[in-house]
Amino acid sequence: MTEPDNVLDIKNLKKSFGDRQVLKGIDIRLKKGSCLGLLGPNGAGKTTTIRIILGLVIPSSGEIRVFGQAYPNAIRRVKYRIGVVPQMDNLDPDLTIVENLLVYANYFKIPLKIAKERAEELLDFFALKNRRDEIIQNLSGGQRRRLLLARALINKPSLLILDEPTIGLDPQARLLMWQRLEALRKHGTTMLLTSHYMEEVSRLATRVIIIDNGKAIAQGDPKTIVEKILGKEVMELSGNHEELKLLIRDLESCDVNTELVGDKLYVYLKKGCNILDRAATTMPHVVRRPATLEDLFLKLTGRKLRER
């Protein structure tokens, strides 16, 4: 049996916790060798989706296929081929670094001899070799995250799930994680990534899905999706709220998206707009820059804080 091209094929996935509907019909397809970024504010349903794939949450309805095999029957078989970097650090604090890898390998029924070889390789790759016998508590945040990633790779997974893999890391540690993840991508590892760092998603993902309130609200190539929906550039104008309101009216003849937040106006441009250029010369603070995934994310999901 040859495996289908789609590592993940999820259709119309729904999940409710009591009255709260967390997923309202999500479709996800993930091609072999690619990296899909799931974006969304807190509580959008990203982690629930991942937990469903891991069998830790049972969906209310929907069709799930992983490596072409249908859930729920295939869950156990499929999990031998999945590696996970969870959002919450759940390394085993009772064990040393190398023991963490070996005990985890045992859960996958990997023979000890092979597990030992792989553990050494991974410690090498993640620059943890000189600390192999240390207890987890002595590790820095970056080292813990690298060990979590190493642990996720102990079974040579065909699908790597990364749930906020660099959360809480300093820029240096994050950069090191990204380099390792990029190396894995070049080797053809299929990845499902959730993150709040748009830069991370732009760097790693070949495709993004933006989720909000349990629904996919946009998807596409991270490099073109911004331009397609928002525009190439964004102009930030600061000024009086009423004046900016008037300006929005004047801009109606141009092909632009606008967003007024207090005393700040964001204008997303697909092409040049003379009215805007003229108006900009009279404004005290104007910034013109390329539009980013972050702009798109904020435009689509709103700038209000999401807390339940």
For residue 154, give the DSSP letter: T
Strand 285-290 versus strand 159-163 pairing type:
unpaired
Is residue 114 close enough to count as binding other proteins by CB under 8 A?
no
CB neighbour list of residue 83: distance below 8 Å, 6 or more residues apart? 151, 152, 153, 154, 155, 157, 159, 160, 161
The correct pick among 99, 227, 243, 259 for binding other proteins (CB under 8 A) is 99
Should residue 104 be labelled a site residue for other proteins when binding is judged by CB under 8 A?
Answer: yes
110/230 with CB nearer other proteins: 110
Cβ proximity to other proteins: between 101 and 198 the closer is: 101
Among 92, 124, 221, 250, binds other proteins (CB under 8 A): 92
Q: Residues 51, 207, 270, 288: which binds other proteins (CB under 8 A)?
A: 51
Compute the distance between CA of residue 241 and CA of residue 263 in angstroms, rounded to an integer: 5
Contacting residue, 43, 55, 62, 220, with other proteins by CB under 8 A: 55
- The sign of the dihedral angle between the CA atoms of 153, 159, 161, 165 is positive
Under the binding rule (CB under 8 A), the answer on residue 13 touching other proteins is no
d(CA 93, CA 137): 7
Query: CB under 8 A: which stretch of 5-13, 78-86, 250-258, 299-307 binds other proteins?
Result: 78-86
* Longest alpha-carbon distance in the chain: 72
Out of 109, 187, 249, 304, which residue is the one contacting other proteins (CB under 8 A)?
A: 109
Residue found under tokens 């990534």: 193
Tokens 């650090």 locate to 89
Can residue 88 be called a binding residue for other proteins (CB under 8 A)?
yes
Structure tokens of 38? Answer: 């799931």
CB of 129 to other proteins, least distance (A): 22
Is residue 168 near other proteins by the rule CB under 8 A? no
Whose tokens are 């092909």? That residue is: 255
* Contact footprint for other proteins (CB under 8 A): 17, 51, 54-58, 76, 79-80, 84, 86, 88-95, 99, 103-104, 106-109, 155
